[in-house]
Amino acid sequence: MPQSFDLFFATSNNHKFQEAKKILEGFGINLGFFKCELEEIQSNSLKEIAKNKAVQAFQKCKKPIIVEDDGLFIDSLNGFPGPYSSYVFKTIGNKGILQLLKQNRKAKFISIISFYDKKNRESFESKVDGKISRSIIGTGWGYDPIFIPLKSTKTFAESKNNISHRFKALKKFSNWYFDK
């Protein structure tokens, strides 16, 4: 018997889907995986990127959909890599980011969850302030092994879900979803 989902998460990143699925299960939402490649517009706005991806994904899937776009914004690099975080990770990785930094290691992670179902288009933003570690710590994916949230001594690779930018944005989304 086919499984029924409340909505779908469009991404090509299985790690991101598994994390979102686990978080939303905790809020009572059954999330399906819509694996796809979406064209990413060039923009300095994560919100515009996520909204555009949500419409694209809905056009392909024809089901209620969410997408997530996030970025790591490093103060001493004037917010770089920001909306270009995925590309930067693929090209220079965590080692490259660590080599770029000197003393000021302040940073923040921002997540935008965008929902679209032809009737509703909503976005939910959350951020977590923190700093970049001096070395790679843990075995998480993406920038998780180098990001330490404020008031923590552990990277996201060591302890993440209930304090992450993604968790907070998905929590905002789930509150809206049940009230719509």
CATH number at residue 108: 3.90.950.10
Residue type, 23: I
Domains held by the chain: number: 1
Domain hosting 137: range is 7-179
Residues marked active site are found at 69
H or E element, residue 167? helix 165-179
For residue 163, name the pLDDT band (cuts at 50, 70, 90): confident
At how many degrees (to 10) do helices 14-25 and 165-179 cross?
50
- Asked whether residue 50 is assigned to any structural domain, the reply reads yes
The whole model's pTM is what?
0.91
100 in any annotated domain:
yes
Answer yes or no: is 2 within a domain.
no
Q: Is the pLDDT of residue 94 over 70?
A: yes
DSSP state letter for 135 = S
